[in-house]
Amino acid sequence: MVKTEIKLKGLTLKNPVMTASGTFGYGEEYADFVDLSELGGIIVKGTTLHHREGNPYPRMAETPMGMLNCVGLQNKGVDYFINTIYPRIRHFETNVIVNVSGSNIDDYVTAAARMDALDDIPAIELNVSCPNVKQGGMAFGVTCSGIEQVVKAVRDVYHKHMIVKLSPNVTNIAEIALAAEAAGADSVSLINTLLGMAIDAETRKPVLSMVTGGLSGACVKPVALRMVWQVAKAVKIPVIGLGGISSATDAVEFLLAGASAIQIGTANFIDPSISGKVAKGIVDYCERQGVKDVNELVGGMIL
């Protein structure tokens, strides 16, 4: 029997596999394809204090080995989540983690405080890739001071496990991760989407309504793996790796690079049952390699 339990501060995962925000709905949508109790956790859709319509269409574009999106955090807000969604998903036999997003610090703080009061939400993931409307739309998570401000403010009101999800659209990801750690993050997850764009050569118009969008899927994996490795070397808190993971082998690579757990995003759109397969596949890998505890893989890359 391979031991698969992962202990993060105040948060125990039955195995290292979680699903990434915005790619797995509220979990319910996938319950016919995956036994949710076989996952370490699900990170639900980005939730903001107030209802958001999202950006105009078109907001998705396919790329070779990936996709671009500018969905823009469409969601019905915290009250709707608490009153309508939470009662339906709170008893899932896995960790239900809410991805908290915002466009100013007060909104993050209020949304996080509301999540703190929910008994069956053991953690939040703070999405710091959102534009700060008070700073000309620059994302909070692209400067050390920006990330520090939002993480500190949320830390004051949120008392359970706080994952801070890092943006890869920065020059030095390790510095940003250190700033999140110093401000009180219990763990960091990375990467969010990489900024990209697409043009239709025939019409000469941008493909996406917002011109630019976030790139995700298999094509971003090498960048994500490099960043996870750099961050894991720099910080003392656990690292959660994601970006292009679509097989158990991909997941193992992230663990070897230093991630304590992983998330699966865009691959859910290609195979809705992939997360369960990856969880089983990691165990198969361990059996094949004579590894008794998944934790032994963390940071196990041989240089």
Ligand X SMILES: Cc1cc2nc3c(=O)[nH]c(=O)nc-3n(C[C@H](O)[C@H](O)[C@H](O)COP(=O)(O)O)c2cc1C
- DSSP H helices, the chain, are 78-80, 86-89, 105-116, 144-155, 173-182, 221-234, 248-257, 267-270, 274-289
**What is d(CA 128, CA 192) in angstroms, rounded to the nearest whole number?**
9
- Classify the phi-psi angles of 73: left when phi > 0, otherwise alpha if psi is within -120 to 50, otherwise beta: left
Structure-token match 């759109």, residue found = 269
Among 242, 261, 279, 297, binds ligand X (CB under 6 A): 242
Rank residues 6 and 262 by Cβ distance to ligand X and give the closer one. Answer: 262
Among 70, 71, 252, 279, binds ligand X (CB under 6 A): 71
CA atoms in the 13 A half-sphere facing the CB of 70: 19
- Can residue 99 be called a binding residue for ligand X (CB under 6 A)? yes
- Give residue 210's Cα distance to chain centre: 22
Among 22, 241, 258, 276, binds ligand X (CB under 6 A): 22
Among 216, 230, 260, 275, binds ligand X (CB under 6 A): 216
- Can residue 220 be called a binding residue for ligand X (CB under 6 A)? yes
Q: For residue 196, give both structure tokens.
A: 């990209």
Q: Write down the least CB distance from residue 43 to ligand X, Å.
A: 7
Peptide bond into 43 cis (omega under 30): no
Interface mask toward ligand X for 111-130; x: CB under 6 A? ----------------x---
Q: Write down the least CB distance from residue 190 to ligand X, Å.
A: 8
Q: Give the angle 113-232-40 at the CA atoms, nearest 5°.
A: 55
**What is d(CA 157, CA 118) in angstroms, rounded to the nearest whole number?**
13
Interface mask toward ligand X for 257-286; x: CB under 6 A? -------xxxx-------------------
Q: Closest residue to ligand X, Cβ-based?
A: 22
Q: Write down the least CB distance from residue 293 to ligand X, Å.
A: 25
Q: Write down the least CB distance from residue 301 to ligand X, Å.
A: 20
For residue 64, what are the CA distances in angstroms to 61, 212, 216, 277? 10, 17, 11, 24
- Please list every residue from 133 through 192 that binds ligand X, using CB under 6 A: 165, 191-192
- Give residue 92's Cα distance to chain centre: 19
Contact region with ligand X (CB under 6 A), list: 18-26, 31-39, 109-117, 138-146: 18-26
Q: Write down the least CB distance from residue 241 to ligand X, Å.
A: 10
Catalytic sites, residue numbers: 130
Number of residues that bind ligand X (CB under 6 A): 27
Among 6, 39, 45, 163, binds ligand X (CB under 6 A): 45
Rank residues 99 and 187 by Cβ distance to ligand X and give the closer one. Answer: 99
**What is d(CA 267, CA 19) in angstroms, rounded to the nearest whole number?**
10
Q: Write down the least CB distance from residue 197 to ligand X, Å.
A: 15
Q: 47-57: buried (b, 16+ CB within 10 Å) or exposed (e) per residue?
A: bbbeebeebee
- Can residue 52 be called a binding residue for ligand X (CB under 6 A)? no
Residue 279, φ and ψ in degrees, nearest 5: -60, -45
Positions touching ligand X (CB under 6 A) are 20-23, 45-46, 69, 71, 73, 99, 101, 127, 165, 191-193, 216-217, 220, 242-245, 264-267
